[in-house]
Amino acid sequence: KEFMEYKPIHINIQGGQDSWSIEENEQFFEKALEVQAKYPQVTSSHETHRTRALYNPFTTAHFVKRFPTLRLTADYSHFILVCERLLQHPTDDERFRLFASRVDHLHARVGTAQHAQISAPLEAKEECVQMQKWWEMIWDAQNNRTWITVTPEYGPAPYAMTNEINVWDLTNREMERQKENYQKWSNNIH
């Protein structure tokens, strides 16, 4: 209730625990979604994040199917890291298509099987291509919406692999890259 005085446009939630049972996380989502329903004037979504309930694509698919009103913040870099692979099997695509229509906010950060974020995304070509494919799945599924928010979420060490990174520059470069990618995508569908 207290947060409403700040007039948020969106609330990101990192909830649940990877160490809880499916049943415990289901109880968490039942209560969280009840609270969220009391504030329909602001969107809120649960982030796909390691150590949380939505820490991998397999349990996330379960919760998305179980809770029709569950909305997501897509931070897929955590999925790649937790699964230690790029998730390129056709069944992975099915899961990411399932998630796409549920996304309200996107964390556009490139990660690898060993790092949630990398300092030079364009040097990880395969990861960039795969993650862009997932982000475009979201844009495709959200095509009829008025807006969707995107954060090119890059952080300093120890989140970054080195202290030799200018996080501000990297974040702004990635923001510009995503603006260009979105414009290309938008031009292709219209």
Cβ-contact 77, 116 below 8 angstroms: yes
Nearest-angstrom CA–CA distance, 147 and 2: 26
To which residue do tokens 């928010």 refer?
Answer: 149
102: which 2 tokens?
């549920």
pLDDT of residue 128: 94
pLDDT of residue 122: 85
> For each of the chain's 190 residues, which pLDDT tens digit applies?
788 889 898 999 999 999 999 999 999 999 999 999 999 999 999 999 999 999 999 999 999 999 999 999 999 999 999 999 999 999 999 999 999 999 999 999 999 999 999 988 888 999 999 999 999 999 999 988 888 889 999 988 888 888 888 999 999 999 999 999 999 999 988 6
pLDDT of residue 82: 97
pLDDT of residue 166: 92
Closest by CA position to 70, among listed 21, 9, 18, 26: 26
The pTM for the full model equals 0.93
49: which 2 tokens?
């994040």
pLDDT of residue 190: 65
Nearest-angstrom CA–CA distance, 75 and 16: 16
Nearest-angstrom CA–CA distance, 123 and 164: 16
Nearest-angstrom CA–CA distance, 123 and 73: 25
pLDDT of residue 189: 82
- DSSP letters for 115-145: -S--S-GGG-HHHHHHHHHHHHHHHHHTTTS
Closest by CA position to 32, among listed 72, 92, 82: 72
Nearest-angstrom CA–CA distance, 186 and 142: 12
